[in-house]
Amino acid sequence: MSQAPARPRAFAAMRHPQFRWYFGTFLLAMMADNIEHVISYWVMFQKFHSPALGGFAVVSHWLPYILFSIPMGGLADRVKPQRLIQISMILFIGVSLGWGFFFATDTLKIWEAMLLLVVHGCAGVFWQTPGQLILYSIVDREELQSAVRLNATARYLGVLVGPAVGGVLLIWLGPVKGIFVNCCFYLPTLLWMARVRFQREAVAPRAMSGLKDVLGTFRAIADRPAIVAMAVLAAAASGLIGNSYQAQMPEFAVSLGHGNPGFAYSALLAADAAGALTGGFLLETLGGFRTGPRNALLLAGGWCLALAAFALTGTYAVALLCLFAAGFFELSFSSMAQTVVQVDAPSEMRGRVLGVYAMAALGCRTFSGITVGLIGALLGVHISLALAAAVLFAVVGILLARQMRGRALREAPLS
């Protein structure tokens, strides 16, 4: 009599001391990333009052993922990922020190602000793919989904806590001392990565050879439909929606009758991140869904419906619930899609494959300001977000139909 498969252990990745260290240091670094945004964006606005510079800040943050994610993945295949993460932390610290110098001397110019923004965006590329690749050295394969989901939860927790801590530092210490203090939050990751030793898989990755090898990476994953589906899903979700609706939250708040600063407006800002945070811990406690492309696509469809409902509702309480649900679905489908890619990626080119996914999931956010922001200027942000969610829902439906058709063909008996 066969036994039923064992229920996944709650917070399985947390049983590894190294992952607990990784989780804590990652959380602090992500918090510092968002603290820097709060302080630097506020000073830039006060000094230049330039919407164009604000737009450049968004582009410079995400565009490096399009340009460098695959080469960085290839590099992470050949060198120790922790060394690349250390480089990332050094760049982040250097940028914060640069902001602090220009704030203290009151000599900041637009071109200097643009340079620091570009370096900050490149620092993220050094962190993203190596940070995912290093999970293989920390947890066992069957615990990978738990590690990816908890890693995503730490990211959302940093996004949730970072702005609050940044606001406190800005009020309590001012922008100069606040940005210098922020450097300290990157140090735990930098120091721990210098101390820890990880075991790498015994594979012989090939060296990157420029554009030819980048194209070869795309050809290699073309034979893996699960990876292709998850990369297309990530690119469509990021390009059509991403996190652009959060930048339009003041206008949504005004239409809901809570456009003035206060608890009601802050609750709207925090509901999405709080839903993701709750979802991450709830999925870990309950064991989560079965990992696979089909479930990732179904969860992505739930994200579309939640955002469309938020865009079209005029009731504040319903809007809060929709944003909370959107956060839950976003963390669920994105962490599951990341896990599918990581599990299915060939060992000899895993970093490059993760680079493709990072390019899709993060780099394509460069374009989301067009679908929700610029179209919203013509039709209104409510209509633009609802339309973007509808288009993404259609993409999800097409991908789901292809998945079901492929599964039917694989299971069909041979004649």
Dihedral in degrees, nearest 10, Cα atoms 44, 49, 52, 55: 50
Give CATH 1.20.1250.20 domain extents, the chain: 8-197, 207-410
Amino acid at 63: L
pLDDT above 70: residue 37: yes
Model confidence pLDDT, tens digit, residues 256-272: 886 565 567 667 777 88
Closest by alpha carbon to 156, among 271, 283, 5? 271
| C-alpha torsion sign, points 111, 113, 117, 119 | positive
With a CB cutoff of 8 Å and minimum separation 6, the contacts of 78 are 205, 207
Residue % of the chain over a pLDDT of 70: 87
pLDDT at residue 1, as a whole number: 41
Closest by alpha carbon to 281, among 7, 6, 14, 2? 14
Mean pLDDT over 8-27 rounds to: 87
Residue % of the chain over a pLDDT of 90: 39
| Residue the block writes with tokens 């990732």 | 296
213: confidence class by pLDDT, cuts 50, 70, 90: low
Candidate CATH numbers 3.90.550.10, 3.30.300.30, 3.40.50.2020, 1.20.1250.20; the one for domain 8-197: 1.20.1250.20
Mean pLDDT over 285-313 rounds to: 88
pLDDT at residue 247, as a whole number: 66
With beta carbons less than 8 A apart as the criterion, state whether 31 and 151 touch: no
Mean pLDDT over 20-25 rounds to: 94
Reported CATH class of domain 207-410: mainly alpha
pLDDT above 60: residue 202: no
pLDDT above 60: residue 383: yes
Report how many helices (DSSP H) and strands (DSSP E) the chain contains, helices first: 18, 0
pLDDT at residue 377, as a whole number: 74
pLDDT at residue 93, as a whole number: 97
What pTM was estimated for this model as a whole?
A: 0.83
pLDDT at residue 58, as a whole number: 78
| Residue the block writes with tokens 């075991």 | 199
